[in-house]
Amino acid sequence: MLKVQKLLLVVLAFLFLWPLNRVQAAEEIGEGTAKVKEIMEYLYQYHLLRPRAETLVEGAVEGLLGKLGDPYTEYLPEEKLRGFTESLEGEYGGIGVELEAAYPYPRVRKVFPASPAGRAGLREGDCIARVEGEDVAGLPLPEVVNRLRGPAGSRVEVTVRREGGVEFSVTLVREVVRAPSLEWRMLPGSVAYIKISYFASHTAEEFSAVAAALKKEQLKGVILDLQDNPGGYLQAAVDVAGFFLPRGLVVVVTVDREGRREEYYPRGGGPALPEVPVVVLQNGGTASAAEVLAGALEDYRRAVLVGSRSYGKGVVQAVVPLKTGGALKITIARYLTPRGRSLEGSGLVPARQVSLPCLVLAAARQELYPERPRTLAFDLRGGGAWVGTERVAACGLAPVSPGGEWYLPLRFTLEALGFGVRWDEEGGRVVAARGERELALAPAEKLALIGGRQVPVEPLWVDGHLYLPSSIFTRLGIQVKLEGGRLELEFWPSGREEYPRTLLN
């Protein structure tokens, strides 16, 4: 099963076999090794609890790795190594579904055709309630994924909860599933939507087929979705960058502890994509190799980033196979974007910040046309909203009119119009900004600061969402009008600034 949201909590930037200079290591750490061995022998022979040798070895290894303070360096026993490799390649024993995080139960995002789940009648939108009779409510998504996986030919009982309260159980026989690393489709307006879920050794080959198909389209733009992409093989991400960039450009630089630098360039000569506007979607689950790709496209001003701040994994691991079994995943370098940025701990901050999932794709469509105003229209009779020309579900939010004036959901409205919205913990206020336009609102004080002026405001809370009167939005330069059962808003960004549409020389 392919996990959508942070399937790998820690992922490799790339994977390779790395020889160990055992002679040098023996000389420098021999005395320490002898001390550890002596302590382990005394504990094994005399300790009251009669610890097993395996327990002492595990403790020694955990102590060594824990002392580093590096969450990415870890020992991989045989079973964990096998699962790790399967995750990187998207080939594993499972039931053939793709899950996404939802409360309280994980939800089926996709059912693979001709899979055990598909033959059993599972559908998109189904929730996994129990696995082998055990309730999985509130469990981390990786744990649910692991419970559903297993050797091909083994059985697993799954209880499914369907919309409408229907619940049923099925026993599935796991099969070898190979999940494609990407999927794509054409959107209205000749815009290609390409989602890369992870970077496997075959991702560049899959992307080449997509690029060849797009050469036959009258392509107007590309939306590259890297949301919840945990990374994978570094070279795969570098190769995909080659479809967007001219030949000969470095995509990423790695720097080891001695300061040695290594530059990575795309391999092969797949068909280049047309020079059209590109938007990259990202979120907090966008990590490692996915950040490499997004960072390179941003550095070369080839793409606009939309979404929320990425994970911020800027270090490189190697996997060292151990003679005693298993492997050691060890951090050996950090990587830098083409302009020398380190993303470790900081991540990539998008040019267009959108935190609401229901808005991300519509916002991306807007950013393909920077010369147009940002528009939002609420359907006051039938519900829903239009962001630009894209109809969205409005995240279940709708305007309300308790006293004659229309109140609008703050975050949804402003994010739909291109504002970044955040909560200032220290100041206890909501801050929204786009260009020179800024709103700072302290809901408890019923006071807003707009353009340096204090404005009294009576906010509303509707089902936990903050609403503001339409007059506050007009003070931000947003045009608001009521016409034919639609509440329409329009905003021109300050200076009508344009994001780069193509590579700048």
Concerning whether 346 is annotated as a catalytic residue, the answer is no
Q: Using an 8 Å Cβ cutoff, are 387 and 394 in contact?
A: no
Distance CA 388, CA 386 (A): 6
Query: What whole-number distance in Å separates Cα of residue 5 and Cα of residue 193?
Result: 19
**Would you give the DSSP letter of residue 202?**
T
CA 129 – CA 132 distance, rounded (Å)? 10
Strand partners, 91: 178
Q: What is the C-alpha separation between 53 and 464, in angstroms, rounded?
A: 54
**Phi and psi at residue 85, to the nearest 5°:** -65, -40
Distance CA 359, CA 193 (A): 15
pLDDT computed for residue 25 by the predictor? 60
- 3, 6, 195, 313: the catalytic one is 313
Q: Are 124 and 130 in contact (CB under 8 A)?
A: no
Backbone phi and psi for residue 59, each to the nearest 5 degrees, phi listed first: -65, -40
pLDDT at 254: 96
pLDDT at 498: 42
Query: Tens digits of per-residue pLDDT, 258-303?
Result: 999 999 999 976 678 989 999 999 999 999 999 999 999 999 999 9
For 490-502, what is each residue's pLDDT tens digit? 999 754 444 444 4
Per-residue pLDDT reduced to its tens digit, 94-148: 999 989 888 899 999 889 888 999 999 999 999 999 999 999 998 888 789 889 9
Element housing 98 (H / E): strand 97-100
**Cα torsion 326, 329, 330, 333: sign:** positive
Give the list of residues 6+ apart from residue 297 with CB closer than 8 angstroms, or none. Answer: 224, 241, 244, 245, 278, 280, 303
> Taking the chain, what is the end-to-end CA distance rounded to the nearest angstrom?
43
Burial 139-148 (b: 16+ CB within 10 A, else e): bebeebbebb
Asked if omega into 142 is within 30° of 0 (cis), the reply is no
Question: What is the DSSP pairing of strand 374-379 with strand 486-491?
Answer: antiparallel
Q: What's the Rg (C-alpha) of the chain? A: 26
| Catalytic residue selected from 87, 181, 197, 288 | 288
Q: Is 313 a known active-site residue?
A: yes
> Known catalytic residue: 195?
no
Beta pairing partners, 74: 329
Other CB atoms within 10 Å distance of the CB of residue 87: 23
Q: In this structure, what token pair is assigned to residue 297?
A: 């496209």
Residue 97 pairs in a beta bridge with 111
Partnered with residue 429 across adjacent β-strands are 424
Structure tokens at 272: 């280049």
Residues in a beta bridge with 466: 461
Residue 21 has a pLDDT of 57
Report the largest interatomic distance among the alpha carbons of the chain, rounded to a whole angstrom. Answer: 86
Report how far residue 182's alpha carbon sits from residue 146's, in angstroms, rounded to the nearest whole number: 22
Q: How far apart are CA 449 and CA 111, in angstroms?
A: 49
Nearest-CA neighbor of 442 among 464, 457, 452, 453? 457
Distance, CA of 471 to CA of 397 (rounded, Å): 19
Alpha helices in 320-376 (DSSP H): 357-367
The parts of the chain modelled with pLDDT lower than 70 are: 1-27, 269-270, 494-505
Which one, of 480, 456, 482, lies nearest residue 470 by Cα?
A: 480
Name the catalytic one among 299, 308, 329, 470. 299
